[in-house]
Amino acid sequence: MKIFNRRGQTAMLFTLAAIPLFGMIGLAVDIGWAHFRQEAAQTAADAAAMGAAKAAYTTSGGTGMTCTASQIACYATEYTCPSTLTGTPANNIIAGCMWAKENGFVTAGRQKVTFQSGVGAAPTAAGVTMSYWIIVRVSETVPQLFSAVLGFPTASVTARATTGAREASSGGCVITLDPTASASLRMTGTTNLNTGCGVFVNSNAGDAITAVGGGTINTTGSARTEIVGNFSGSGNIQINGVAGSPLIGRPRISDPFADLNPPTVPSPTRSVPSLGSHDTANLQPGYYPSGINLSSHQVANLAPGVYYVDGGIDLGAQTTLNGTGVTLFVKSGIVNMSGGAAVSLSAPSSGDWQGILFFQDRGNNLAATLVGGTTQQMNGALYFPAAQLTYTGGSSTNATATTIVSNTLSLVGNSNIAAAASTNYTGNSGGVSLID
């Protein structure tokens, strides 16, 4: 009988199996190291972009961030950071190069750091218009250890970050959101808007603000009227204020309530009781699937809380609506407040809905009308992001703390807004942000 020596076979099989096994282990190590360097490159790109944008914002004091401004550099094509960085940076881009260096990346050897910068919309974020944008690209060639045996001696890692700096803006307490509409803010008749917190019109149209029959926007204190486009009027239109003439050609601002989420449908389900002329209803928060509708001379008093309304809100002439600490969310239907209605409403002063008085759902683009009588008082945010809003704020002596944000806005009669509503949403102050 012939006996085979199995020890030699086992050693041979182990050797053959070990080669791909160690190859896979080596590949995993190389991939892990490349991923680690990728994360490091991204951190350096983010820090460099934010540092350069912050330097531009700080140098300019938050305004006048242009390519001709001192210590603010613009590069339409890529600028490569120098390999040697010492002393005080000559401009904001060199400051960004120093931030990349602090995070382990310089233009030398296997590494490269580049910048692009300018005004308007960055090439990597075409839909975002900023006062000043910066793109940083960081790259590194990473040596491979085990993968080199398979013919891959190096791997390339790249990272990119885009930041934007927005000029400090009054933002305003009267804001229209439509980016292109003519007459985004329309003044009809002899209309006077007096505001201590400013106006901002996001439309780029040459007639973004129009007046038919005359109109005046008067801002006080440091408040301004700011327009992405320009203004015109078939009648006599005046836009002025203590801070000077309107600012045109401004970069767009975003919706200050973009992070405001609609409420969930509450319980219980409620309805307005049947009322006769001159009758009064005391309403409680909840879900109103058939709307809140009042006919002539009827009165409704709202208890504090959130009113979730399907079917709209309709106030006829000579009706009265009162409420303190209320939020009216309109999921569907129109909001129609006829002239002559006596309205006294204020938003909650604390909690999740602090400062939010009206909120028409973003999917509801039906035109809304808030035109009450001369004693009308609505303190809080009037948020109609998808709708045309027609508004009058009562007599010029009734100063309110109100923020109006609508897709477009038509002002009728006189309105006097002393200050913005106090909400949990800070809106559109200047600053620096990571875009992409």
Whole-angstrom distance, CA of residue 194 vs CA of residue 213: 18
Name every residue whose Cβ is closer than 8 Å to that of residue 288 and which is 6 or more positions away in sequence: 269, 270, 271, 272, 307, 308, 309, 310, 311
For residue 265, pLDDT over 70 is answered with yes
- Give me 291's structure tokens: 């709307």
Which long-range contacts does 294-300 make (Cβ < 8 Å, 24+ apart)?
294/319, 294/320, 294/321, 295/319, 300/272
Domain count, the chain: 2
What's residue 428's pLDDT? 47
State what percent of residues in the chain have pLDDT above 70.
84
Residues 244 and 370 in one domain: yes
**78: exposed, middle or buried (C-beta count within 10 Å: 0-12, 13-18, 19+)?**
exposed
- Give me 417's structure tokens: 């807004």
What's residue 339's pLDDT? 72
What's residue 259's pLDDT? 80
What's residue 177's pLDDT? 94
pLDDT tens track for 102-145: 999 999 999 999 999 998 878 887 766 677 899 999 999 998 77
Whole-angstrom distance, CA of residue 196 vs CA of residue 222: 8
Span 318-343, average pLDDT: 92
Residues 161 and 185 in one domain: no
Give the pLDDT band of residue 2 (cuts 50, 70, 90). low
Give the pLDDT band of residue 329 (cuts 50, 70, 90). very high
What's residue 398's pLDDT? 66
20 in a structural domain: yes
Of the residues 136, 166, 196, which one is the last residue of a structural domain?
166
Residues 157 and 182 in one domain: no
Residues 184 and 258 in one domain: yes
Give the pLDDT band of residue 22 (cuts 50, 70, 90). low
Supply the pTM of this predicted model.
Answer: 0.65
Q: What is the mean pLDDT of the chain?
A: 85
Give the pLDDT band of residue 193 (cuts 50, 70, 90). confident
Residues 217 and 288 in one domain: yes
What's residue 145's pLDDT? 72
436 in a structural domain: no
Of the residues 166, 201, 235, which one is the last residue of a structural domain?
166
Please say whether the beta carbons of 418 and 175 come within 8 A. Answer: no
Give the pLDDT band of residue 396 (cuts 50, 70, 90). low
Q: Which of 411, 410, 355, 418 is nearest to 383 (CA)?
A: 355
49 in a structural domain: yes
Q: Which of 337, 302, 303, 306 is nearest to 319 (CA)?
A: 337
**339: exposed, middle or buried (C-beta count within 10 Å: 0-12, 13-18, 19+)?**
middle
394 versus 392: the higher-pLDDT residue is 392
Instruction: Name the least confident of 48-52, 54-58, 114-118, 397-401.
Output: 397-401
Instruction: Name the least confident of 148-152, 190-194, 393-397.
Output: 393-397
Span 402-424, average pLDDT: 88
1 in a structural domain: no
Residues 157 and 214 in one domain: no
Residues 334 and 253 in one domain: yes
3 in a structural domain: no
Whole-angstrom distance, CA of residue 288 vs CA of residue 216: 39
Of the residues 135, 166, 197, which one is the last residue of a structural domain?
166
389 in a structural domain: yes
Residues 406 and 276 in one domain: yes
pLDDT tens track for 283-316: 999 999 999 999 989 999 999 999 999 999 999 8
Please say whether the beta carbons of 252 and 121 come within 8 A. Answer: no
DSSP 71-83: T---EEEEEEPPS
Residues 178 and 162 in one domain: no
pLDDT tens track for 147-165: 666 677 888 999 999 998 8
DSSP 280-339: EEEE-SEEETT-EEE-TT-EEEEPSEEEEESS-EEE-TT-EEEEESEEEEE-SS-EEE-T
Location of structure tokens 């149209």: 205
Give the pLDDT band of residue 431 (cuts 50, 70, 90). low
Q: Which domain, by its residues, includes 300?
A: 174-428
Name every residue whose Cβ is closer than 8 Å to that of residue 237 and which is 6 or more positions away in sequence: 187, 209, 210, 211, 214, 215, 216, 231
36 in a structural domain: yes
Name every residue whose Cβ is closer than 8 Å to that of residue 340 and which is 6 or more positions away in sequence: 317, 318, 372, 373
Give the pLDDT band of residue 45 (cuts 50, 70, 90). very high
Residues 288 and 320 in one domain: yes
- Give me 379's structure tokens: 């303190």
For residue 271, pLDDT over 90 is answered with yes
For residue 18, pLDDT over 80 is answered with no
Of these ranges, 13-17, 18-22, 58-62, 125-129, the one predicted with the greatest mean pLDDT is 58-62
Give the pLDDT band of residue 70 (cuts 50, 70, 90). confident
DSSP 147-214: GGGGT--EEEEEEEEEEEEE------SEEE--SS-TTSEEEEEEEEEEESS-EEE---STTSEEEES-
Radius of gyration of the chain (CA): 31
What's residue 27's pLDDT? 65
Residues 47 and 17 in one domain: yes
What's residue 325's pLDDT? 97
433 in a structural domain: no
Residues 150 and 213 in one domain: no
